[in-house]
Structure 1
């Protein structure tokens, strides 16, 4: 009987440990399109989250070119913790990850996935100098 109580207490203790204690910290990944690999990882922090939220707030149009993924440049995957709600004339959804497409020539644009995993591409008007300094 005492053994069963000890096992039950142990199981309850294990179940009460937060899963986040074992989670890896969120990292931004910079993927080089030409090399076909992640070339840089940067720890996510509140200032980067704020910059990316400004990118999302400053979406000004849907991306209209035929091929949104360039042959040269970088894809920057930014996990968002907490998730951010994006509401504009094109999409109303909760975003937990943004992929910033930064071609070698041309302006960067955003790739987002909505709640139903539909893909959306957007242009935005925001410089974000401190973001680019931390990532490049």
Structure 2
């Protein structure tokens, strides 16, 4: 990724975060956060591996890719990464640059066993990935 693209992404993300902060006051965010399940401990998940721990990224596209991934299914990707030994999953929800969606994170969080990390709008947040659930 070139420096120009990265600088543009940082600028746009900062502007989007500032807009969201104006729309939803900090007290509202805290209230929403208090209603969420307690997240898994990402640091513990990474330390639990006997050798190398991987955080794998699930994303629809990338600014450097010519075309988005065809037949993108975050559940299938999460399942494959989980079975391959990933310690944690990073679900990219940034719509502007990655064509991501919060729905991808919600779906993976409902389906996976591992801690998940949303990299959606600047600073991400750890999501609680619940126990195994059947798709459908």
Shorter-chain TM band:
under 0.3
Determine which structure has more spread, i.e. the larger CA radius of gyration. 1
More strand by share: 1
TM (normalized to structure 1)?
0.27
Point out the structure with the larger helix share: 2
